[in-house]
Amino acid sequence: MKKRLLTVLVTGTVLSLGALAPSVNAQDFDSQIETVNSSIANINEKKSAVNSTIDTLAKELSDVQTKIDTTQAKKAEVQEQIETLKAEIAKLEKVIAERNTRLEEQARSVQTNGARSYLDFLLNAESLSDAVSRIGVVMDLMGANRELMQQQAEDKKQVESKEEAQQEKLAEQEAAEKELASLQTELNDTFSKNKVLLANLSQEEVAEIAKRDGLVAEKEAFQKRLAEEKAKAEAEAARIAEASRQALAAQASQSQTTATQTSYQAPAPAAASTASTSTASTSSSTSTPAAPAQTSSYTYTAGGGFPAVDPSFRASLNGGYFGQCTYYVFNRMAQVGTPIGHSMMGNAAEWPSYARSYGYSVSHSPSAGSAIVFQQGLAGADPTYGHVAFVEAVNADGSLYISEMNVRGLNVISYRTISASVAARATYIRF
């Protein structure tokens, strides 16, 4: 009886402490916060790089604008020179036109008087010296005409050269202006894109900071709730311990009283002795205390005695579905020393098929330490994915005491007893 009473009290204590199993632990929050902080730091690095690019582009735009201003000033200067050249060209064209007029007049004179005029001019000389002088005049006149024609050709060539130089300078200025305008457009486009990128990064940073602040608030609320639950659990454990102490003391006292009554026989005549003995026997029978009620005890007949569930324990392989029933069984199996060696097990309803393919034992015989698979709809299992749990113990009446996750919420560990009739319909896997 003493042992059975202790079973009731200890079981109650374990169940009370089991309520402390959190959906997530502080390390989970710290890990998530660290991840967000890393993301924020990464965003800040990107923002710094973009800001540096923007500063560089701003300087380049300023330099390009300076070059544009310089080019436009040179263009204005060249245009002024072009106007001067145009004036010179106009002047040269006027001189050429005048020379053409004189040449035309001389040509008409020659055509009118002909060579006879030159001959008459020479024959009319009064003396030999006068003739020589007149020959010189004719030669000078003809030489002047030749020089005039040569000068006209040179002037024309000069005009053409200046006109060509004018066109080259104009083309150079237009090309430089076009190139600078293209560069300015390209830089402005890149500058605008980086401004947009910076704005987007700033929005991402604000969102990540809000996410981090939310996680910090959740962590603080979680720690507060955990502290409150721990205090309640400790108070409950203290109450149970005190109740255990009082029950054991009462049981010891009752046992001592019963032993005293059973061993006592009052001196009496032989005839009365039988009655006395009968009375004593009756007294002893009625004085024996009844066994205390065991409304919440679990008498394990197969296995059990596994270490208490550690909510923070993580298996190297856990299937990857955080907070789900499969995630928990992966972790629990590893915690009790029988880790699942394959990460690909599918959903809960698919576990028996995968287990058989890997060579694990699959049957309908329950045993402590095995995984229990509820097919779709069995005992409230998901109609599509089924459910899987860990068999903590097999009771004498065929019922099972199991631990599981995601029955009362994502990543929440809970415990319950499965009736023998339900247990008989489930599938069991030994890893």
- Provide the residue range defining the domain that includes 195: 17-285
Do 88 and 182 sit in the same domain of this protein? yes
In a domain, 207, yes or no: yes
- Rounded to the nearest 10 degrees, what angle do helices 128-263 and 2-18 cross at? 160
Whole-number Cα distances in Å, 87 to 55, 159, 160: 48, 11, 14
Instruction: Specify the CATH number for the domain of residue 332.
Output: 3.90.1720.10
Domain boundary among the residues 231, 252, 285 is at 285
Which has more confidence, 27 or 359? Answer: 359
Domain boundary among the residues 260, 285, 310 is at 285
In a domain, 218, yes or no: yes
* Nearest alpha-carbon partner for 68 in 216, 224, 178, 213: 178
Q: Is the pLDDT of residue 347 over 60?
A: yes
Q: Which residues pair with 371 in a beta bridge?
A: 390, 429
In a domain, 366, yes or no: yes
In a domain, 249, yes or no: yes
In a domain, 311, yes or no: yes
Domain boundary among the residues 262, 285, 308 is at 285
Do 326 and 274 sit in the same domain of this protein? no
Q: Is the pLDDT of residue 306 over 80?
A: yes
Do 351 and 279 sit in the same domain of this protein? no
In a domain, 195, yes or no: yes
pTM above 0.75, yes or no: no
Do 218 and 365 sit in the same domain of this protein? no
Cα–Cα–Cα angle for 10, 12, 15, rounded to 5 degrees: 110
Q: What backbone phi and psi angles, to 5 degrees, belong to 322? A: -55, 135
Do 212 and 305 sit in the same domain of this protein? no
pLDDT value of residue 368: 94
Phi-psi region at 380: left, alpha or beta (left = phi > 0; alpha = psi -120 to 50): left
Interatomic CA distance for residues 413 and 408, integer angstroms = 8
Least confident segment among 127-131, 179-183, 188-192, 390-394:
127-131
* Nearest alpha-carbon partner for 371 in 387, 353, 347: 387
Do 65 and 149 sit in the same domain of this protein? yes
* Nearest alpha-carbon partner for 309 in 238, 401, 235, 231: 401
pLDDT tens readout for residues 376-431 = 999 999 999 999 999 999 999 999 999 999 999 999 999 999 999 999 999 999 99
Burial (0-12, 13-18, 19+ Cβ within 10 Å), 386: buried
Total domains present in the chain: 2
pLDDT value of residue 363: 96
Interatomic CA distance for residues 351 and 8, integer angstroms = 35
In a domain, 109, yes or no: yes
In a domain, 421, yes or no: yes
Do 65 and 189 sit in the same domain of this protein? yes
Do 130 and 224 sit in the same domain of this protein? yes
Which has more confidence, 161 or 283? Answer: 161
Q: Is the pLDDT of residue 353 over 90?
A: yes
Instruction: Specify the CATH number for the domain of residue 38.
Output: 1.10.287
Do 255 and 379 sit in the same domain of this protein? no
Q: Is 164 helix (H, G, I), strand (E, B) or coil?
A: helix
pLDDT tens readout for residues 204-222 = 999 999 999 998 998 888 8
Arithmetic mean of pLDDT, 243-262? 65
Q: Is the pLDDT of residue 265 over 60?
A: no
Do 321 and 235 sit in the same domain of this protein? no
Do 318 and 222 sit in the same domain of this protein? no
Do 318 and 276 sit in the same domain of this protein? no
